[in-house]
Amino acid sequence: MVTKKVQVVIAAPAPSGEWSFLIFKTNKERGHFWQNVTGHVEKGETFEEAALREAREESAIEIDAIVDLQELGLVYHFQDRRKQKCEEHSFLIVADKQWKPTIDSHEHDDWRWENLSDVSLHTLEWPSNNEALLKCAGMLRRMGA
């Protein structure tokens, strides 16, 4: 059986006008590393529906703050920490502005907005998370952001 998962890169303009990305630090029990929003696809959900739900659950984004949702065309196959086979689809959510997220201490213990100009191959822990983040950074740069 394959566990279906999503990762969601959330982008929003900073007060300075520069684009930024919302990233989260997992709590100590989960490895204490920086990542995008991630989560499981629930029974009966599409990947897109799961991406929206996970973004709302993990970041407290308001649905009316979402300007755009795009599937990135990045699909990853891997084994999770429980040795389950996973298929993960990646998405970008563009929000109209930054906000202070409410985080669940069972998953995360910190968050920050990372400016587009500061994003690198080493911003996040996992290569798939960095690939999605860098793809989104490139998309925003090409749009003149």
Q: Is the pLDDT of residue 143 over 60?
A: yes
pLDDT single digits (tens) 73-110: 999 999 988 899 999 999 999 999 999 999 999 999 99
What is the secondary structure of 40-103 as a DSSP string?
EPPTT--HHHHHHHHHHHHH---GGGEEEEEEEEEEEEEE-TT--EEEEEEEEEEESS------
pLDDT single digits (tens) 101-142: 999 999 999 999 999 889 988 899 999 999 999 999 999 988
Architecture of domain 2-142: Alpha-Beta Complex (3.90)
Backbone angle region of 104, left / alpha / beta, with phi > 0 → left and psi within -120 to 50 → alpha: beta
**Mean predicted confidence (pLDDT) in 23-44:** 95
What's the DSSP call for residue 81? Answer: T
Domain boundaries defined on the chain = 2-142
